[in-house]
Structure 1
């Protein structure tokens, strides 16, 4: 018979929480390792390299930890094609004009905006200030 956690003392609860967190992390690590192995196997079966797949996804290979400030280190600025005075630097809240452009003009639907999204990245490239 298992003990009801609501009856446990704080130190006993903390011990169970710590144990559960370790189990959870192990399961996540195992799942990630399996996913990586599956992707690796699929790439090996294909005629494409990992770099080509990542490029198609709009993701650059990571060479270490990045920070948000470094993500726009090239100084990219995206310009509203209907109003050149409206720009966006690629960080922070996405301006309404860009959401409207992507959803209405280009019919791109997305739940979570990402400048690396495979459908969004090419459209953003068109809006870059040259």
Structure 2
């Protein structure tokens, strides 16, 4: 049997201790690295959740704004049509309204660089031949 004072045994014990210590150190480093990665992933998850909440809030505000604009436009149209009087037929009122809307659209287009093309049906073009 070898005694602990034997240099060979001491060297073997030292190697085992050193190897065990190295393994423990590597495990601690790996655990620390894993914890850092977990925290980074948790941070990314939280950031993505907050982005999702922000997008949903923006969508909600856009919907509310669109509804408000639509209601305001409906009130304007209703007021316009009712001011034309009870004696005018709704079809005639709509013709006037649509003509004014076309005029507004043409005016808006003329302010920019857009090019506008009309078909003969849209212009109500007629060609007369004279003999």
Give the structure, 1 or 2, with the largest relative contact order (CA under 8 Å, sep 6 or more).
Answer: 1
Higher helix residue share: 2
Task: Give the structure with the higher percent strand.
Answer: 1
Larger Rg: 2
Q: Normalising TM by the smaller chain, what interval?
A: 0.3 to 0.5
TM normalised by structure 1 equals: 0.38
The normalised TM-score by structure 2 is 0.38
